[in-house]
Structure 1
Amino acid sequence: MATQPQRSFIGIGLALGVAIGSAIGVAMGNIALGIPIGIGVGVAIGAGLDAADKKKRKDRDGDGGTHAASSVFVGDHGGPSKPSHADNDGGGSDAGGD
């Protein structure tokens, strides 16, 4: 089975963001402000497209929703536990009357 090469939309978003940011900067009369705004917006859009593409690929490949991190938080149900207050016999030092 041939796999498709991994692609990234961040570079595309960055390039478009610089172009659009430059145009906005010229329109505002402040290119030095428009370019960083465009870069930020472009990277954010690119990252969002990357996440959507990754999810679409995972759904298409039929991962089935199993994740490596899903077994990390499985509790230890057979080990010793801390005693609760119900386990006390009532003769503890909390009685206070001495």
Structure 2
Amino acid sequence: MQSPKRNPGLAIAVGIAIGTGVGVATGNLALWLALGVAIGAGLSAAAAARKPKDPD
């Protein structure tokens, strides 16, 4: 059975959401929004580089 393709935009959106929440809580939205985008892009790249498991 094939696994569905991963959506890289989802990881970036989650990173933005987390970064926005932390940024509002700490009062430094610009920093945490940028960090959220970077974390989301990193998660997306890591998920794309990961090899799928063998179905055996």
TM-score > 0.5, shorter chain as reference: yes
Tell me the matched-pair count.
55
Contact 1:21–1:39 at 8 Å: present in 2 too?
A: yes
Consecutive unaligned residues of structure 2, counting only runs of 5 or more, are none
Consecutive unaligned residues of structure 1, counting only runs of 5 or more, are 61-98
Deviations 1:45-92 (A, max 9, x none): 11111111xx217x55xxxxxxxxxxxxxxxxxxxxxxxxxxxxxxxx
Larger Rg: 1
Q: What TM-score results when the alignment is normalised by the length of structure 1?
A: 0.47
Q: Return the structure number with greater helix share.
A: 2
CA RMSD of aligned residues (A): 2.1
Any idea what SS the aligned residue of 1:8 has? coil
Any idea what SS the aligned residue of 2:6 has? coil
- Structure 2 residue identity aligned to 1:16: V
Q: What TM-score results when the alignment is normalised by the length of structure 2?
A: 0.76
Percent identity over paired residues? 37
